[in-house]
Amino acid sequence: MSDAHGIRMIDVGGKPVTRRTARASARLRTRPETVARIRAGSLDKGDAVATARLAAIMAAKRTSDLVPLCHPLPLDSVACTIGFEDDALLVETTVRATARTGVEMEALVAATAAALAVYDMCKSIDPGMTLEQVRLEEKTGGTRGDWRRP
């Protein structure tokens, strides 16, 4: 039976199980004073870096609940690193799974959720923050092979 609107989950049953990795990033642009408070751990809500890491892990695990048509995947690992520029917080996530389909969406959702968690913790002191450049940096594994952002 065919869906009249052409929306369907892709059948990955015939694909081989391989080691899959994806790395994504996001940038949260903010004021230098806000970056200083995040780095110092002096926000009213607590440690934004630790919260961002936890948000990334939780989000990666729930990607199929958030993004239509994504397969639920048993993840092998989720890592989140946070870096700083004068006026930005830099998030990078790496997701790994041994599966029939890739983990690009999990890495992208994780990076976005980490940045949004920091946004939530800082919005009272800097409502003008901007979430920018959410993007896939690289992926490995699968039938289409490896890809890396030039």
The owner of tokens 């690289």 is 138
Q: Look up residue 90 and give its two tokens.
A: 């830099």
Residues ≥6 apart with Cβ < 8 Å to 66: 59, 109
Of 23, 22, 12, 21, nearest in space to 100 by CA: 12
CA–CA distance from 20 to each of 5, 23, 74, 77, 124 (Å)?
30, 10, 11, 11, 39
The active-site residue out of 47, 76, 87, 120 is 120
CA–CA distance from 48 to each of 27, 94, 104 (Å)?
15, 19, 24
120 labelled catalytic: yes
Of 149, 147, 22, nearest in space to 79 by CA: 22
Which positions are annotated as active-site residues? 120
